[in-house]
Structure 1
Amino acid sequence: MIPAKFDWKIDSSMIDENQNRISRELGIGSLITSILFSRGYKDASAIKEFLSPQLSNLRDPYLLHDMHKACDRIKSAIQNNEKITVYGDYDADGITSTAIMYETLSNLGANVNYFVPNRFKDGYGPNPNIYKHLISDGTNLIVTVDNGISGNDSVAIANELGCDVIVTDHHNIPDEIPDAYAIVHARYPGDEYSFGEFSGVGIAFKVASALLEEIPEEYFDLAAIGTVADLVSLTDENRILVSYGLAALSDTQRPGLSKLEKLAGIKTDNLNEQSISFGIAPRLNALGRISDASTGVELLTTFDEDLADELSHETENENKQRRKLVDDIFKQANDQAKKIADKNTIVVYGKDWHEGVVGIVASRLIEKYHKPALVLSLNTETNILKGSGRSIERFNLFKALNGVRSNMVSFGGHSMAVGLSVDLDNLNTVIQHLESYANENNITELQKPILKLAKKISVNQVNEQLFNQLQLLSPFGTDNEYPIFSFEADMVTNIQTMGKNNEHLKFKILGDNSSLNVLAFKKGNLANRLEGVSDCVSVAGHLEKNTWKGRTTIQVMLDDIFSDSVEIVDSRTNKLNKQMLNYSNSLYVFFNEKIYDKLKSLINDSSKAALFNNLFLSDNFDNIIFVDCPNSFEDLDLALNSVNKDSNLIMYFYKKNMVMNYAMPNRNQYADLFRFVEGHKDINLNKDINLLSNYLKIDINNLIFMLKVFKESKFISIDNGIMNGNRNPISNDITLTNSYKKRKQQYDIEKNLLIVNNSDFNKVIRSHFD
């Protein structure tokens, strides 16, 4: 049995004639149409618009709340040479938002600078002291990007000091809205824009569009980075921004971005949303996590090749440092997590862990354990723990901790992520409350995350045409995930491990007349178990194109795998050794009493040995080991259906001499022996059986068997080794003799169990379970 990591939810809706009609009309596969229907695109026009993002579908930016007011104030500031400060944020969305707003205002001739808070000195969002400093330094207008909607105190101070604040943001709107000069927000209460899922950079792009009075195509590359990095919905206008942005990124005119792409190993001819998610965004985020995100704005906006080269290498070095910090802290955090494996929540901390990466470490702990996790850094001077928490799907971490808010120095966040500071003396209170809340809210029922599967398809359906059609759905991301499929496979073969430490897994799944390679990262430990269930495995994964030595194939990247069948370990052999008898906590099953008597004393002390008809039915064993070959399927049935199905089944089925090595005697051979017996008397079998075998040209093993059958049929008698034919023998059906039936049973057992391939062997064994 291989348990699934996820709770699979498969779209089982049928493809109807309406979908087939739309598929024909648009020239796309019915599977693609079906996926789009399940995602809410239910007619030809909606599907066509989705598949062909157009700039004409970007709405008028002035439909956003306060856009007119904001632009008028900015234009007035430019006209009067007022000093404008763009107040940004330190993640990839905030950096790109700052870059777009700063560059737009600069191009319009503004007296503009930018400020990006330092995570460690300034904290997140508007900082009242920073606002004071900026205003005392001459700033007349502050324009926030990717923050500000919760900056009531800072806006109030700015108002008191005679500085206007324009908030452009996308975060959730609090109950109390700041008294800013203008608030550009897609979900402003009572004046909602028809698409409310922008990132910070999406709002900045809309402001730039309004100010420039045209769609600023030169910002598509920046808009795509921030939108993908912030994990907002990749639908509607965001889909347009990212689609055009990916094209711009593949030929970006920004030297800093170009150099960063090369350092990240991104090939511009194959650039997609994953290039942002795993290449560009982590490097920009590393700046804010490790040092100063202002470097990122400068990197994105400079057109000085030498400076771009310098800044890109600085960014790359920060990212390498970030990765090392994450690896080092995760190792320590994981060691702590192992010690509390019986808990339903994880709270770990270390001295002076880098605060900029504890959130990533928390995410990695969740990936491994699928439990809510808090990762905290202890300041040994203040005894204050500061860090981040991440949650699992359907568990509200903010609500879980809000009950002990009074026991914390600071606390904030949302259902899936929190930030907090707590005095070391109060930590146990927080830990106990979180664990109790998790138990009271039945967290164990939530700890298997949901895996949404687009469809169940056969191996035979997968080809390059299907892969290419799936790419029509890109760019992929939130609300438009890359389709994951459940594959109907007849068999798993070619199981092998890969990697320096054999940590990865590769295998094939077979269909009726085709096969697919499957790659499974960090699943190498499943190789042996997969062998044991190779005929009844369910695979879930997404398709990827692989080109090797000029040959392109479509392969499956594994997302999950499971089998609810007992594991059968095929270890069939014609030789036994002591090591094979040394498994601990195992039940060794014998069919042959002589072999049982000979080997039972050699069995590991923690294990047991028994004959197939006298098993330990109430005992639980890790392994059930079938040592020798059964004499009949009836014996095998009795044994299989008397053991615990949760144990592994290890099949030696040892047999030294196989009856299949000698074909069952044919009618002519029986007739020759019968005629010989009729014509000869007093044959001394002890002395002359080899001569008789040579004379009749019958293998001696078959001859001995035939003589047993004849004796049992009363065709012959044998006294003290002397054989004679019986006078007037009764005509009997030799196939009804015990000797013949036993030989036939052994022949059938060997034919179906000992000489078949692994696939057929597993099928036979499973067919004999209840």
Structure 2
Amino acid sequence: MILPKYNWHINSNEYSDEEKEMAHNLNINPLIVSIMFQRGYDTLDKIKSFLNPDINSFHDPFELHDMQKSVDRISLAITNNEKITIYGDYDADGITSTAILYETLQNMGANVNFYIPNRFTDGYGPNSDAYKRIINEGTTLIITVDNGVSGKEQVDLANSMNCDVIITDHHNLPNDLPNAYSIIHARYPNDEYEFGDLSGAGISFKLSTALLGDFPSELLDLVAIGTVADLVSLTDENRAIVKLGLMAIAQTERPGLSALINKAGLKLDNINEESIGFGIAPRLNALGRISDASVGVELLTTFDDDYANELAKETDSKNSQRKKLVSDIYEDAYQKAENLIEDGHKTLFIVGENWHEGVLGIVASRIVEKFNKPTLVLNLNNDTNIAKGSGRSIDGFDIFKALNDNRNNMVSFGGHSMAVGLSVNKDKISSIYEDLDKYADNHHINSMAKPNLNITGCINVKDINQSLFDDINKLAPFGTDNEYPIFKFAHDSVSNITTMGANNNHLKFKLISEYSSINVLAFNNGRYSEAISESFDALDIVGHLVLSTWKGRTSVQIMLDDFSSSGPKINDQRSRVLTKETFLGKGTYVFFNNNILQQVKKYIPNESKCVHIDDLSFDISSDNIIIVDCPSSFEQLKRIFYIKNLKELSLILYKKELISKFGMPNREQCAKIFKFFAKHNGFDLKQNLAELCKFLNIPKKSLFMIIKMFSELDFLHINDWVVYESKQPVKKEISKAPTYQKMSDEISLEKKLILSSKQELSHFIRNEYDKRKDAVK
């Protein structure tokens, strides 16, 4: 049995008349319209708008709170040649936010520079010492991007030094907002923007649009990277940003971005949201995690080819270093997490020493992925007695709210519902952890034990083709709130199960339906190779469709998202002989023939049990039920399938002689035998059996079977081995004889249990088990 990682919620594939009509009007697969309806796009206009975002999809930037006030102040600063400093952030969203506004102000002729805080010396968000340095160096206007709303103290400091602060941010707003000159935020209280899920780069892009008075198409590549990297909702304006931004990246004239894409092993003509999420963004993030994120801004804004290649090489090197650090820390954090779970904690508050603080967010994400518990991973500095790190959450649990009441007990804190950054004094760790666990308990975190997986519907493998893939891809770009559609795939069987990778940690296999097949790729699931082989006929697969190119040939494949198998593990151990070695396994040995039980019971190990089928309890406590011999009827076999919580079923199915070896009696044989006894009334079988079998050319066992059938039908009578013809037999079909019916059933059972292939046997057993299980329910 393979248990799924997620709770599956499968939507129906039934299409309404309205969905079919819209699909016809749009000339697309009804499945796509059904997906749109599931996601709230339930009119033709909504669907058209979603499928075809353009410049008209962008809202007026001046609808954002304080936008006009901010534009006026910046324009005044440019006019007066004031020194403007953009205060950014060290992740990919912060880097692109900074690059967007820096390039905009440069093009407007501003006296502008930028400052990216250092993760290790400045910490997360606004830093008072950094503000002092910036202002003392002549800055009279600070513009924050991708940060600032948590910097009340820093804004007060700037105000006292006669420096205005314009905050542009998208993070959760605190109850007490900074006294900034202006705040541009899509969710500003009582002045919410039409779309509240812009990234930091998105807000920066809106400010640039307002400043320039025209739509800045040249910045779409940067804002798309920041939007995808920050995992914000890919709906509404963000969808337009990424859709158009991907086209801009493919045609980018930025030598730094081109060089970075090349280092990531990507191609400009094949860039999509995954290219950003797994190729570009991690490299930009690595800069801030390992060293100086300012390199990222320079990389994205330089137009010097040689300098761009140099910066791209440095960025890629930092990413390699980041990977090694994550691997080393994860191993240690994993063990600590297991210990906390054993101690009964609802959440994971993991503290280590000598851990690189820049990668703790990634480690936290991987721990969450493994254990599905809200996780904080912090490094304790023994010189300062301050633990600093990051937290990541699970669906349905707002980690920002869970920790926010303890904000005053922390050195620093910020973030949103799914991710936080924090610094905590060593002596406060225990109380904060205790409060976090209580919050989790009060909010019923146990009911969140397994995350939900929304499955769009079911597709049969035989219906998958390039056309379907192309229609699904019209929903791209995919991401938060517009996830790639996940399907359950109907199939007949599984084949070609192989492991891949240096450590055989990946898996590849085929799903087969009628005359069609498709490859399935299952990364980090190599350990399930044997389990899939054993459950090939009971495997439920959910995943999404991807394109794969190998040796110039492109094909649609399935990327596995989850899988499961129901029912017991079935072990095919069929044998024509029983030896002492047959009974080495541990379990409960079940017999249908009592004579065989008595003959071999001395070989059953002491730690195992042996039982006749008639004495079998349905509540038996045994992980492995071992069927030794072959039942003579299906009714006997069915008793096995009523065993509760059947985990493993081993099938030896020994039978000394197969009924099917002799076959069912045919009309010619029956007529020949009946005529003989009609001519030889009172024939003595005991004296003449061998000669009779030779004369009739029929095996002894077959002869006895037919005589018994004739007796049951009252065609013949037998008394002390002497056969007499009935005087007035009633004409009946031989198939009405109980022995004929029993023999027919036994042969049918032999074909299913003994003469079948491994796959056929497993399929038959599992189907019958599922029928009984459903009947019990």
| TM-score in terms of structure 1 length | 0.91
> Residues 317-362 of structure 1, C-alpha deviation per residue, up to 9 Å, x if partnerless?
1111111111111111112223344433223332211111112111
Over the residues paired in the alignment, what is the CA RMSD in angstroms?
Answer: 3.0
The residue that corresponds to 1:174 in the other structure is 174
Q: 1:656 and 1:276 mapped to 2: Cα distance?
A: 65
TM superposition shift of 1:210: 2.5
Checking the alignment, whether the CA contact within 8 Å between 2:717 and 2:726 is kept in structure 1 is no
Residue 397 of structure 1 aligns to which amino acid in structure 2? I
Matched with 2:766 is 762
1:329 aligned residue: 329
Q: State the partner residue of 1:639.
A: 640
C-alpha contact 2:172 2:415 (8 A) present in aligned 1: no
Cα offset, 1:95, TM superposition = 0.3
The corresponding residue for 2:669 is: 669
Paired letter, 1:209: T
Q: CA deviation at 1:258?
A: 1.2
Partner of 2:417: 415
What pairs with 1:414-493 in structure 2 (closer than 5 Å)? 414-487=416-489, 489=490, 491-493=492-494
Indicate conservation of the 8 Å contact 2:65/2:191, yes or no: yes
**What letter is aligned with 1:241?**
I
After superposition, residues 709-728 of structure 1 pair within 5 angstroms as 715=716, 725-726=723-724
Q: For residue 85 of structure 2, give the secondary structure of its aligned residue in structure 1.
A: strand
Q: Distance in 1 between matches of 2:215 and 2:22?
A: 32
Residues 1:439 and 1:730: Cα distance change in structure 2 (over 3 Å):
farther
Alpha-carbon offset, residue 261 of structure 1? 1.1
In 2: Cα distance, 1:741 partner to 1:160 partner: 101
Alignment of 1:151-550 (within 5 A): 151-342=151-342, 343=344, 344-402=346-404, 408-487=410-489, 489=490, 491-494=492-495, 496-500=497-501, 501-511=503-513, 514-531=516-533, 533-550=535-552
Given the superposition, is the C-alpha separation of residues 192 and 376 from structure 1 closer, same or farther in structure 2, using an over 3 Å criterion?
Answer: closer
Q: Bigger shift: 529-538 or 27-36?
A: 529-538
1:606 aligns with 2:604: no
Contact 1:495 1:527 in 2 (8 A): no
State the partner residue of 2:745: 745
**Superposed CA offset, 1:159-212 (max 9, x none):** 222222222222233333323233333333344332222111112112222333
C-alpha displacement of 1:411: 4.3
Rounded to whole Å, the distance in 2 between the matches of 1:65 and 1:20 is 42
Instruction: Please give the alpha-carbon distance, in whole angstroms, between the structure 2 residues aligned to 1:551 and 1:335.
Output: 44
Distance in 2 (alpha carbons) for counterparts of 1:42 and 1:718: 83
Distance 2:256 2:349 in 1: 39
Q: Aligned pair in 2 of structure 1 residues 100, 575: CA closer, same or farther (>3 Å)?
A: farther
Q: Given the superposition, is the C-alpha separation of residues 378 and 128 from structure 1 closer, same or farther in structure 2, using an over 3 Å criterion? A: closer
Give me the whole-angstrom Cα distance separating, in 1, the residues matched to 2:169 and 2:59.
18
CA distance in 2, matches of 1:580, 1:251: 69
CA contact (8 A) 2:493 2:512 kept: yes
SS at match of 2:615: coil
Give 3-state SS (helix, strand or coil) of 1:613's partner.
helix
Per the TM alignment, residue 96 of structure 1 is displaced from its structure 2 partner at its CA by 0.6
2:632 is paired with a residue whose SS is coil
Shift of 1:469: 0.8
1:764 Cα deviation after fit: 4.2
Match of 2:27 in 1: 27
Kindly state the Cα deviation for residue 475 of structure 1 after the two structures are TM-superposed: 0.9
Question: Is 1:37 matched up with 2:37?
Answer: yes
Please state how far the C-alpha of 1:423 moved relative to its aligned partner.
4.5
Letter in 1 for 2:365: S
What's the CA shift string for 1:626-660, capped at 9, x where partnerless?
1221111111123332x223422233323343221
Distance 1:201 1:646 in 2: 55
State the alpha-carbon separation in 2 of the partners of residues 766 and 7 from structure 1.
20
Please identify, of 293-302 and 395-404, the stretch whose mean Cα deviation from structure 2 is larger: 395-404
C-alpha contact (below 8 Å) 1:491/1:536 kept by paired residues:
no
Q: Which runs of 5+ in 1 are unaligned?
A: none
CA shift, 1:486, in A, is 3.0
Q: What CA distance in whole angstroms lies between the structure 1 residues aligned with 2:384 and 2:695? A: 102
- 1:492 maps to a residue whose letter is S
Q: Residues 20-56 of structure 1, C-alpha deviation per residue, up to 9 Å, x if partnerless?
A: 3332222222221222222222322222222111123
Shift of 1:509: 4.0
Q: Is the 8 A contact 1:411 1:418 kept in 2?
A: yes
- Structure 1 pair 531/701, CA: closer, same or farther in 2 (3 Å)? farther
Instruction: Kindly provide the amino acid, as one letter, of the partner of residue 324 in structure 2.
Output: K
Task: Give per-residue Cα distances to partners, 1:689-739, cap 9 Å, x unaligned.
Answer: 3x65454332455345446656887947697xxx65436677487666665
The answer as to whether partners of 1:504 and 1:523 remain within 8 angstroms in 2 is yes
State the AA in 1 paired with 2:457.
K
Contact 2:93/2:230 (CA < 8 Å) preserved in 1? Answer: yes
Amino acid paired to 1:11: N
The alpha carbon displacement at 1:590 in A equals: 1.2
For 1:41, give the aligned amino acid: Y
Q: What amino acid does structure 1 have at the position aligned with 2:140?
A: N
CA contact (8 A) 2:258 2:268 kept: no
CA–CA separation in structure 2 for the residues paired with 1:519 and 1:700: 57
How many angstroms does 1:243 deviate by? 1.2
Structure-2 change in CA distance of 1:737 and 1:125 (3 Å) = same
Amino acid at match of 2:603: L
- Counterpart AA for 1:557: M
Aligned residue identity for 1:624 = I
User: What's the CA shift string for 1:612-635, capped at 9, x where partnerless?
Assistant: 111244432112221221111111
Question: Partner letter of residue 754 of structure 1?
Answer: I
SS at the partner of 1:349?
A: strand
- C-alpha displacement of 1:494: 1.2
Report the AA paired with residue 615 of structure 2. N
In the aligned structure 1, how far is the partner of 2:438 from the partner of 2:579?
53
- Please give the residue correspondences for 1:686-701 in structure 2 after superposition, counting only pairs within 5 Å: 689=690, 692-699=692-699, 701=701
Q: Distance in 1 between matches of 2:656 and 2:291?
A: 71
Change (3 A) 1:708 1:728: closer
Among the aligned pairs, what percent are the same residue? 49
Report matched runs for 1:511-660 at 5 Å.
511=513, 514-531=516-533, 533-575=535-577, 581-584=583-586, 586-641=587-642, 643-660=643-660
User: Any conservation in 2 of the 1:491–1:537 contact (CA below 8 Å)?
Assistant: no
Aligned equivalents of 2:580 and 2:725: distance in 1?
A: 53
d(CA) in 1 for partners of 2:439, 2:104 = 48
Q: Please give the alpha-carbon distance, in whole angstroms, between the structure 1 residues aligned to 2:578 and 2:380.
A: 58
Letter in 2 for 1:259: A
Residue 675 of structure 1, CA deviation: 4.1
Which amino acid in structure 2 is aligned with residue 640 of structure 1?
F
Provide the rounded CA distance (Å) in 2 between the counterparts of 1:710 and 1:21.
67
Task: Give yes or no for contact 2:70–2:182 (8 Å, CA) kept in 1.
Answer: yes
CA contact (8 A) 2:497 2:510 kept: no
What letter is aligned with 1:466?
L
Shift of 1:275: 0.4
Deviates more, 1:680-689 or 1:630-639: 680-689
SS at match of 2:188: coil
> For 1:436-456, what per-residue CA distance to the aligned partner results, in whole angstroms no more than 9, with x for missing partners?
443343221111212122233
Paired AA for residue 445 in structure 1? S
